[in-house]
Amino acid sequence: MKTRLEDKLMAMAQAKQKTAPCSKGVLEQERAISVSHFPDVHDNIACALSSMGNNDFTAIGPSARILFMDTETTGLSTGAGTVAFLVGIGYINNGMLTVRQYFMRDYNDEPELLNRLKCILPHFDILVTFNGATYDLPLLKTRFLMNRMDPEPFMMPHADLLHMARRVFKLRLRNCPLSRLEEWVLGVHRTQDIPGMLVPERYFSYLKSGDLSLLDDVFIHNQQDIVALYGLMSTLIQMYEHPQTVTHHQDIYSIGLALEKKKQYERARACFSLALNGDCAYQSLNRLAHNYRKTGEYCKAAEVFKRMTQHHNSGVEPYIELAKLYEHRFKDDDKALEYALQAARILNGDGLGDALPVQAAQNALQCRCDRLLRRVKSGEEQQHGVHGKHQGA
């Protein structure tokens, strides 16, 4: 997979060198790139993207048209003096990814470049970027305003894959730059990639010399980023749709958390169940139990909390949760007291010291124990003889 992509890119770079640079006007070039090595995307992308982030795209309907976008700029700040000299877009056409790049040969090409963007955007329903929410989109909006154009076209629905990827991979990869995701998630290794920080300098050198070949690897870099955007989106969708195919348990667990946040409890539960054998087994049990509790399936919740108590690094939480369940849901004060006392034993004996949260937990627990004890005692006084039966249960 890796070599095929690389060959293609190299071939393309050579092909481009042959195109004679014209001296004026926006340079526009288009390539159709095979993306068959990435997972297939089923047709309801809007729905899939909706479960992955904060935005809800479901209103768009099943056949949403997706536009990928990435920019190369003359600096890192989003101030008014930074320009996007190369804007790459991508969309699926006849099973291939069409990548189109708009390039400013000089600063006075900008209005034309923005105009072409403005014309293309309305043909799509969702804009997909990587970190576009904080970088590319504010910058392009600024460019529109600087050219006295209405930035309204950018008000379209937007999915930022950085935020979506961060939800899934942050446990495993900590920070998630695109290059790292490409390598670790998509398995693509770029060999001759230009570091992003060198890009502005290349453009300035090109402006001075007029030698477009200076920007060859910038064009490739931008194109690769767009391919990676597609790859990342389809991979993420695949992972959400078929968590059983995901290799790393941490990722599955994270997907479960994300789904839980979107109140998709059934799907979240499936993820937590899948993650029970890996590094996050205990957390998964914990989420699973809470999940059952939220949907009102208290028996199942209690069952999972009990499984947690058998776990080797079980803490005090499942005991407290069980005490709560037995007190409030099952109305079984004896059992509740039993779990509460057990929790208190752990909390007092685990050597955590007098850290404030521990103290708070201890105090809360003490209240619970006292209350239960009072109730159990008064219950005993009222109905003598039931005592033994309860103990045996």
Partner 1 sequence: MNVEQLAEQLKRDSLFMRDVVRWETLPQKSAVYGEFPLGLDTRIQPLLKQRGIHRLYSHQAEAIETVLRGEDVVIVTPTASGKTLCYNLPVLSAITARPDTRALYLFPTKALAADQAHELYELIEGMGADIKTYTYDGDTPVAARRAIRQAGHIVVTNPDMLHSGILPHHTKWVKLFENLQYIVIDEIHAYRGVFGSNLANVLRRLIRLCAFYRSKPRFILCSATIANPGELASLLTGRPVTVIEKNGAPSGERHFVFINPQVINRQLGIRVGVLKTAERIASALLQNNIQTITFCKSRVQLEVLTRHLKDITRDVLGNAERVRGYRGGYLPSERRDIERGLRDGSVKAVVSTNALELGVDIGALDACVLCGYPGTIAALWQQSGRAGRRQSASIIFYIASSAALDQYIVSHPDYFFSQSPEHALINPDNLYIMLSHLKCAAFELPFEAGESFGINNSADEMINYLCNNDILRRVENRFYWSAEDFPASEISLRSASAENFVIIDITDAVRPLVIGEMDRYAVPMLLHQNAIYMHEGRQFQVERLDFDACKAYVRHVNVDYYTDADLNVSLSLLDISEETTNARGIRRHSGEVKVTALVKMFKKMKLDTGENLGFGHITLPETDMHTTAMWWTLPLDAAQPYTNDALQGGMLGIANLLRITAPLFLMCSPRDIAVVYQVKGSFTELPTIFIYDNYPGGIGLADKAFSLGELLLEQSLSIVSDCACQNGCPSCAGPVGEIGLEGKAMAGVILCQMIER
Q: In this chain, which stretch among 35-43, 201-209, 271-279, 350-358 interacts with partner 1, using CB under 8 A?
A: 201-209
Site size with partner 1, rule: CB under 8 A: 22
Cβ density class 65-93: b for 16+ within 10 Å, e for less: ebbbbbbbbbeeebeeebbbbbbbbbbbe
Q: CB-based burial of residue 282 (10 Å sphere; 0-12 exposed, 13-18 middle, 19+ buried)?
A: middle
Cβ neighbours for 51, distance < 8 A, ≥ 6 positions apart: 240, 258, 259, 262, 264, 267
To partner 1, the closest distance from the beta carbon of 337 in angstroms equals: 45
To partner 1, the closest distance from the beta carbon of 126 in angstroms equals: 23
Residues 98-127 that bind partner 1 (CB under 8 A): 106-108
Give the torsion sign (CA, 127, 130, 135, 140): negative
Identity of the residue, 203 or 339, whose beta carbon is nearer to partner 1 in the bound complex: 203
Q: Is 208 in the site for partner 1 (CB under 8 A)?
A: yes
Identity of the residue, 110 or 251, whose beta carbon is nearer to partner 1 in the bound complex: 110
| The one among 11, 145, 156, 367 contacting partner 1 by CB under 8 A | 145
Rounded Cα gap, residues 215 and 68, in angstroms: 21
To partner 1, the closest distance from the beta carbon of 199 in angstroms equals: 10
Identity of the residue, 203 or 253, whose beta carbon is nearer to partner 1 in the bound complex: 203
Q: Is 341 in the site for partner 1 (CB under 8 A)?
A: no
Identity of the residue, 138 or 157, whose beta carbon is nearer to partner 1 in the bound complex: 138
Identity of the residue, 204 or 363, whose beta carbon is nearer to partner 1 in the bound complex: 204
Q: Is 386 in the site for partner 1 (CB under 8 A)?
A: no
Identity of the residue, 139 or 246, whose beta carbon is nearer to partner 1 in the bound complex: 139
Q: Is 155 in the site for partner 1 (CB under 8 A)?
A: no
Alpha-carbon distances, residue 117 vs 30, 51, 135, 152, 161 (angstroms): 14, 28, 17, 12, 21
Q: Is 200 in the site for partner 1 (CB under 8 A)?
A: yes
Cβ density class 18-56: b for 16+ within 10 Å, e for less: eeeeeeeebbeeebebebeebbebeebbbbbbbbbbebe
Rounded Cα gap, residues 366 and 344, in angstroms: 8
| The one among 142, 273, 286, 309 contacting partner 1 by CB under 8 A | 142
Alpha-carbon distances, residue 70 vs 5, 35, 56, 96, 129 (angstroms): 19, 18, 22, 18, 6
Alpha-carbon distances, residue 388 vs 53, 376, 379 (angstroms): 54, 13, 13
Q: Is 213 in the site for partner 1 (CB under 8 A)?
A: no
Residues 42-81 that bind partner 1 (CB under 8 A): 74-81
Identity of the residue, 24 or 174, whose beta carbon is nearer to partner 1 in the bound complex: 24
Q: Does residue 55 contact residue 254 with C-beta atoms inside 8 Å?
A: no
Q: Is 146 in the site for partner 1 (CB under 8 A)?
A: yes
Identity of the residue, 192 or 204, whose beta carbon is nearer to partner 1 in the bound complex: 204
To partner 1, the closest distance from the beta carbon of 76 in angstroms equals: 8
Q: Tokens for 345?
A: 């034993």
Q: Is 201 in the site for partner 1 (CB under 8 A)?
A: yes
Q: Provide the binding-site residues for partner 1, judged by CB under 8 A.
A: 74-81, 83, 106-108, 138, 141-142, 145-146, 200-201, 204, 207-208
